[in-house]
């Protein structure tokens, strides 16, 4: 069975094509700048790479363009587009629906109810799904919600201390995100450690960051809450923030609530702290050159990760492995070292040379460390592909 996995942005469409017989990635590609006069369509199939520019007005045309490249007569991975059995979506927020679903009107309605909670994610997914249903009516579409992995979190770590009727009527609680990534880490750590009962902290650190405590393979605590805006500071999103500061900001600036929220979601996080950049590489370069605000952004990020890690260690009664993934987690050796510094009393001892040298998957714990430290590149797309196959087989 061939499954196309889609990861959408408001103006982008990224995909991977999997042969689920052996989970090989046959092709990957992207369409960027959807809606511009000229969009970029790139594809990589084996040693063949191609980038072409063409008008791509919407996500339906983007999928058609990607299928055209995948069926290239000379280099394509497909003879015909009909070989694709389904498209699986790494969907973000379904609110009252959390799981894996064949896309229908109920799924789309549930996502639309959460547009205000995930404004950067849900609207483009909904629009693309509707277009694809119309243009490819015989092609099953499957939504695998990121919140699904976190359904095992106990109620005491899931509920907000808000009026009960709000929680019940509006489905307000901590949902958690990056579910596909944390699910992949849970499975891979079980393989590496040779046990499924390990207490693991999965640190997905990148442009968007979250931590999840995993016990017996299940999510038991996570940093993101009702929306992907929360938790540790993101590259340009605020992270945790006191809502009672909002009236003061509105009063002092004259901005509307929507304007304040937009700024917190686009000019907050590491970008807001540094007044420079939300990119960790830029911040490290600027901090090394003496920029104090960039150094502050780095320090706040590290301290917030450590704060949440501490809570997770207490919640699980210890930790057997700490895993770093995502762009920062995989490449940020200085960040990894800072997060794990001075934790010897908790059984965390870093092998500095290994941390410096690591490239790809590997460990960097010292032989005296009770806690294993790993870098594991995540694979969210293969998780979505597996969930898509399982959903179709049970439909």
Rounded-to-integer distance, Cα 302 and Cα 22, Å? 39
pTM here is 0.93
Helices (H) and strands (E) in the chain, counts: 14, 14
Could you tell me which residues are annotated as the binding site for Mg(2+)?
7, 380
Rounded-to-integer distance, Cα 355 and Cα 339, Å? 12
Query: Comparing C-alpha atoms, which of 30, 4, 32, 31 is closest to residue 16?
Result: 4
How do strand 2-9 and strand 84-89 relate by DSSP bridges? parallel
Query: Comparing C-alpha atoms, which of 82, 83, 100 is closest to residue 91?
Result: 100
| Cα 286 to chain centroid, rounded | 26
pLDDT tens-digit readout, 104-157: 999 999 999 999 999 888 988 998 899 888 888 999 999 999 999 999 999 999
Instruction: List beta partners, residue 214.
Output: 200, 219
- In three-state secondary structure terms, 251 is helix
pLDDT tens-digit readout, 2-45: 999 998 876 788 999 999 999 999 999 999 888 888 999 999 99
In contact, 84 and 140? CB cutoff 8 Å? no
Rounded-to-integer distance, Cα 207 and Cα 241, Å? 18
| Residues in Cβ contact with 83 at an 8 Å cutoff, skipping those fewer than 6 apart | 2
Q: How many residues does the chain have?
A: 395
The pLDDT of residue 61 is 85
Q: Which of 7-16, 114-123, 178-187, 383-392 has the lowest mean pLDDT?
A: 7-16
Looking at the chain, the whole-number percentage of residues with pLDDT higher than 70 is: 100
The pLDDT of residue 146 is 96
The pLDDT of residue 132 is 85
DSSP output for 271-297: HHHHTS-S-HHHHHHHHHTT-HHHHHH
Rounded-to-integer distance, Cα 91 and Cα 119, Å? 13
The pLDDT of residue 10 is 66
Q: Which uninterrupted H or E stretch holds 321?
A: strand 321-325
Q: Which uninterrupted H or E stretch holds 7?
A: strand 2-9
What's the whole-number average pLDDT of the chain? 95
Q: Strand 362-363's sheet: what is its strand order?
A: 218-222, 210-215, 199-204, 321-325, 372-375, 362-363
User: Please, what is the angle between helix 380-394 and helix 179-193, to 10°?
Assistant: 100
Rounded-to-integer distance, Cα 234 and Cα 278, Å? 8
What's the Cα-to-Cα distance from 69 to each of 42, 134, 169, 290, rounded to whole Å?
Answer: 9, 21, 46, 47
Could you tell me which residues are annotated as the binding site?
7, 14, 279-281, 380
Please tell me which residue, 217 or 60, carries the higher pLDDT value: 217
What's the Cα-to-Cα distance from 37 to each of 33, 56, 116, 361, rounded to whole Å?
Answer: 9, 8, 29, 40
Query: Comparing C-alpha atoms, which of 63, 59, 62, 70 is closest to residue 27?
Result: 70
Instruction: List beta partners, residue 142.
Output: 88, 102
C-alpha torsion angle, residues 262, 305, 122, 96 (rounded to 10): -120
Instruction: List beta partners, residue 371.
Output: none
Q: Which of 9-13, 363-367, 384-388 has the lowest mean pLDDT?
A: 9-13
Rounded-to-integer distance, Cα 131 and Cα 119, Å? 19
Could you tell me which residues are annotated as the binding site for ATP?
14, 279-281
User: For residue 356, which phi and psi values (nearest 5 degrees)?
Assistant: -70, -35
Q: Which domains are seen in the chain, by residue range?
A: 2-144 (3.30.420.40), 195-375 (3.30.420.40)
How do strand 84-89 and strand 321-325 relate by DSSP bridges? unpaired
pLDDT tens-digit readout, 284-343: 999 999 999 999 999 999 999 999 999 999 999 999 999 999 999 999 999 999 999 999
In contact, 391 and 8? CB cutoff 8 Å? no
Instruction: List beta partners, residue 52.
Output: 41
């Amino acid at each position: 069975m061939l499954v196309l996995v889609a990861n959408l942005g408001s103006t982008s469409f990224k995909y991977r094509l999997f042969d689920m017989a052996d989970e090989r990635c046959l092709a990957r590609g992207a369409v960027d700048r959807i809606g511009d006069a000229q969009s970029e369509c790139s594809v990589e199939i084996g040693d063949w790479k191609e980038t072409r520019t063409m008008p791509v007005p919407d996500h339906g045309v983007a999928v058609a363009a990607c299928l055209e490249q995948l069926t290239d007569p000379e280099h394509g991975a497909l003879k015909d587009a009909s070989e694709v059995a389904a498209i699986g979506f790494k969907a973000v927020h379904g609110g009252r629906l959390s799981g894996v679903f064949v896309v229908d009107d109920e799924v789309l309605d549930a996502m639309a109810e959460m547009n205000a909670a995930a404004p950067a994610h849900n609207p483009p997914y909904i629009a693309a799904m509707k277009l694809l249903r119309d243009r490819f009516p015989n092609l099953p579409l499957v939504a695998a919600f990121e919140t699904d992995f976190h359904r095992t979190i106990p109620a005491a770590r899931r509920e907000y201390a808000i009026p009960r009727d709000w929680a019940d009527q509006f489905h307000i609680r901590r949902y958690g995100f990056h579910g596909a990534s944390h699910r992949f880490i849970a499975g891979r750590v079980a393989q590496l450690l040779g046990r499924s009962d390990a207490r693991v902290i999965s640190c997905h650190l990148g442009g968007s960051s979250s931590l999840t405590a995993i016990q017996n393979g299940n999510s038991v605590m996570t940093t993101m809450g009702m929306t992907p805006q929360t938790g540790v500071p993101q590259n340009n999103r605020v992270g945790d923030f006191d809502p009672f500061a909002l009236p003061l900001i509105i009063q002092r600036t004259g901005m509307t609530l929507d304007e304040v929220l937009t700024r917190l979601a686009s000019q907050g996080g590491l970008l807001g702290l540094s007044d420079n950049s939300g990119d960790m590489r830029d911040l490290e370069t600027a901090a090394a050159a003496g920029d104090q605000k960039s150094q502050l952004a780095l320090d706040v990020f590290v301290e917030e990760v450590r704060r949440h890690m501490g809570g997770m260690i207490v919640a699980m009664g210890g930790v057997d492995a700490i895993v770093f993934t995502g762009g920062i987690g995989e490449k940020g050796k200085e960040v990894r070292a800072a997060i794990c510094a001075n934790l010897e009393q908790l059984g965390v001892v870093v092998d500095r040379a290994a941390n410096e040298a690591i490239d790809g998957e590997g460990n960097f714990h010292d032989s005296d460390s009770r806690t294993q430290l790993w870098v594991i590149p995540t694979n969210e797309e293969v998780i979505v592909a597996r969930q898509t196959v399982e959903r179709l087989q049970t439909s």
